Copies of this chain bind each other. A is one copy, B any other.
């Protein structure tokens, strides 16, 4: 059965580099009914999980994490690329699908003991999420789960995140 979101996700060949088939979610975001359903379905598994704070990953993750936090009545904590956060930070290096980079969080972004949900658009190799979980734990957060819109199964990102419950809405 084709998931209702699948027809709206646009495949872009060879972007951002040759050999990559990029899944463009912007047609889903632009459709008001589809966007509403997307946020509701991302949030659904966590409605009764007493999430305190949703970790939003720079930059496409912001688009999903912030409305999921709003829906759950939680706050938002940012994971950003190096140099984007103005206050005192903690950082970690990570490998992603086509490069490597440094991610940061503000030192006060999560309070010790807070119940944390992480949200991102795509689970690829899992490197970005693994690094984000590491940062959230370092701040004392209790990781409740990670929610993705899309999971690229062939890249086996779940393996890297084995101690974190994962939910995703569309699998390729």
**Which residues of A approach B to under 8 Å, CB–CB?**
10, 12, 15-16, 22, 24, 26-27, 29-32, 34-36, 39, 52-53, 56, 58-60, 62-64, 66-67, 69-71, 73-78, 80, 84-87, 106, 108-110
CA distance A84 to B58 in the complex (A): 12
Q: Give the Cβ gap from A60 to chain B, nearest Cβ, in Å.
A: 8
Give 4 new A-B contacts, CB below 8 A, not counting A12-B87, A56-B63, A62-B63: A30-B76, A32-B52, A66-B67, A70-B71
Establish whether residues A32 and B87, one from each chain, have CB atoms under 8 Å apart when the complex forms.
no
* Given A62-B66, A66-B64, A26-B87 contact (CB < 8 Å): yes
Task: For A60, list chain B residues within 8 Å (CB).
Answer: 62
